[in-house]
């Protein structure tokens, strides 16, 4: 049985980055660039004004002075004449610097009187002028392959005149729930049955990781039903099943995956919860068989599936951040397996993160997961911990904090 770290290494050793596709710029946020983006021109494309004011010759403006205003240049306009000695042209932010001028006197430093302006102070050469190409140069690699597209990247792409961009394809993830007790949410439910929550929960997790979930629904615990659906699932980029892999089960999922030529890489990981997780591959298709327990399936998704999905979609940063936190209370644990403990986090006076258990840690208790800010990852050989000990906590949400 692999350790937590070995299981992750085995998984990542078996996933490959998906091929590229071209998407429109307005749909590119969150995707990963599949190729470098080279600037086709200088940015800015010409020397221009960084302020609303007057284009002047700095040699005219070595101290307080008066200049004659001979023209007006809005953003989007082109100069029609040069700035001569003793002259100025009114100019708006972004407009090209007219010939003759080498500096801008901002509006707020100027007093206007009819056709003339009075400068209160000297203007140094190059003042408030943006130079051609000072941001990005023609031929320069503005964005490199592997970059995650955010608003800033979209801005650069648009400035380079791009309408579309090559990105790594989104992973299509087939999701199959297995179990005779399961009913589609919203359908009539009889004693002994439960709603299939894993199907939609895993789909939500896939979507938040940037993948595209494909719902295969529920397979009964019988061979033909499982075989048909697993076979269909293997057409996706990644196959995810839940339940039917615990010791008490008839091992049907793993047996049929084996018949379908999925090579098992491991079954069972030395972690708690989530031990009966299985991983295999067929060609380039990773197959994760997660435990049925809703808490275990979401936790194992977090630890194993999400990093694999992110890697497939070209991401380099695939792990949630780990932060050291001080335990606010003792934590019972038997040495043996790596344990994931659902914790709430707060800030102590001195700024240190303080971890409090989010509640009942039984795997049947889903609400403890809802309350958790993070997962304390307790090493395998560690026994019961005392209050005040420092543990690594994996942050589950964003780093955003509430106001106040």
Stretch that binds ligand AMP, among 11-19, 195-203, 226-234, 369-377 (CB under 6 A): 195-203
Judged by CB under 5 A, which of 53, 98, 179, 307 binds Mg ion? 179
Residue 233 within binding range of ligand AMP, rule CB under 6 A: no
Residue 312 CB, nearest distance to ligand AMP (Å)?
Answer: 24
Stretch that binds ligand AMP, among 43-51, 161-169, 243-251, 308-316 (CB under 6 A): 243-251
Residue 241 within binding range of ligand AMP, rule CB under 6 A: no
Burial 229-252 (b: 16+ CB within 10 A, else e): bbeebbebbbbbbbbbbeeebeeb
329 or 362: CB nearest ligand AMP: 362
Residue 194 within binding range of ligand AMP, rule CB under 6 A: yes
47 or 221: CB nearest ligand AMP: 221
Contact partner at residue 121 from ligand AMP, Mg ion, none, CB < 5 to 8 Å by partner kind: none
Residue 167-186 contact track with ligand AMP, rule CB under 6 A, x = bound: ----------x-x-xx----
Residue 249 CB, nearest distance to Mg ion (Å)?
Answer: 5
The 3 state secondary structure assigned to the chain is CCCHHHHHHHHHCCCCCCCEEEEEHHHCCCCEECCCEECCCCECCCCEECCCEEEECHHHCCCCEEEEEEEEECCCCCCCCCCCCCEEEEECCCCECCCCCCEEEEHHHEEEECCEEEECCCCCCCCCEECCCCCECCCCEEECCCCECCHHHHHHHHHCCCCEEEEECCCEEEEEEECCCEECCCCCCCCCCEECHHHHHHHHHHHHCCCEEEEEEEECCCHHHHHHHHHHHCCCCEEEEECCCCCCCCCHHHHHHHHCCCEEEEECCCEECCCCCEEEEECCEEEEEECCCHHHHHHHHHHHHHHHHHHHCCCCCCCCCEEEEEECCCECCCCCCEEEEEEEEEECCCCCEEEEECCCCCCCCCHHHHCCCEEEEECCCCCCECCCCEEEEEECCCCCCCCC
261-320 residues near Mg ion, rule: CB under 5 A: none
179 or 213: CB nearest Mg ion: 179
User: Shortest Cβ contact with ligand AMP: which residue?
Assistant: 292
Judged by CB under 5 A, which of 165, 243, 295, 345 binds Mg ion? 243
Judged by CB under 6 A, which of 49, 293, 300, 357 binds ligand AMP? 293
Residue 337 CB, nearest distance to ligand AMP (Å)?
Answer: 18
242 or 361: CB nearest ligand AMP: 242
Residue from 8, 14, 19 nearest 263 by CA: 14
Residue 214 within binding range of Mg ion, rule CB under 5 A: no
274 or 286: CB nearest ligand AMP: 274
Judged by CB under 6 A, which of 49, 242, 277, 289 binds ligand AMP? 242
Stretch that binds ligand AMP, among 3-11, 242-250, 351-359, 372-380 (CB under 6 A): 242-250
Residue 269 within binding range of ligand AMP, rule CB under 6 A: no
Residue 263 CB, nearest distance to ligand AMP (Å)?
Answer: 22
Residues near Mg ion, by CB under 5 A:
179, 243
């Amino acid at each position: 049985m692999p350790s937590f770290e070995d299981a992750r290494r085995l998984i990542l050793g078996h996933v490959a980055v998906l091929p590229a596709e071209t998407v429109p710029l307005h749909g590119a946020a969150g995707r990963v660039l599949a190729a470098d983006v080279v600037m086709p021109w200088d940015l800015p494309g010409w020397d221009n004004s960084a302020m609303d004011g007057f284009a002047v010759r700095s040699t005219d403006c070595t101290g307080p002075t008066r200049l004659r205003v001979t023209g007006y240049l809005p953003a989007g306009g082109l100069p029609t004449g040069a700035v001569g000695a003793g002259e100025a042209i009114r100019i708006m932010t972004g407009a090209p610097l007219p010939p003759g001028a080498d500096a801008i006197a901002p509006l707020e430093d100027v007093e206007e009187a009819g056709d003339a302006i009075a400068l209160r102070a000297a203007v140094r050469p190059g003042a408030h002028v943006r130079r051609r190409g000072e941001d990005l140069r023609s031929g320069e690699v503005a964005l490199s392959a592997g970059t995650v597209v955010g608003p800033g990247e979209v801005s650069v792409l648009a400035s380079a005149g791009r309408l579309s961009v090559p990105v790594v394809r989104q992973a299509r993830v087939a999701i199959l729930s297995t179990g005779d007790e399961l009913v589609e949410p919203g359908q009539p439910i009889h004693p002994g049955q439960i709603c299939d929550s894993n199907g939609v929960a895993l789909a939500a997790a896939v979507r938040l990781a940037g993948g595209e979930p494909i719902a295969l629904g529920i397979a009964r615990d019988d061979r033909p039903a499982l075989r048909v659906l697993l076979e269909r699932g293997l057409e996706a980029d990644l196959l995810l099943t839940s339940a039917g892999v615990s010791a008490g089960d008839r091992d049907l999922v793993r047996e049929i995956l084996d018949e379908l030529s999925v090579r098992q890489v491991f079954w069972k990981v030395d972690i708690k919860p989530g031990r009966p997780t299985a991983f295999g591959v067929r060609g380039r298709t990773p197959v994760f068989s997660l435990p049925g327990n809703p808490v275990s399936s979401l936790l194992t998704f977090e630890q194993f599936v999400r990093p694999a999905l992110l890697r497939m979609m070209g991401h380099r940063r695939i792990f949630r951040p780990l932060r050291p936190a001080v335990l606010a209370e003792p934590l019972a644990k038997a040495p043996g397996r790596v344990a994931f403990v659902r914790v709430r986090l707060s800030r102590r006076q001195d700024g240190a993160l303080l971890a409090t258990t989010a509640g009942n840690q039984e795997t049947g208790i889903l609400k403890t997961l809802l309350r958790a800010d993070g997962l304390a990852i307790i090493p395998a050989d560690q026994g019961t911990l005392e209050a005040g000990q420092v543990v690594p906590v994996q942050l589950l949400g964003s780093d955003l904090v509430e106001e106040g």
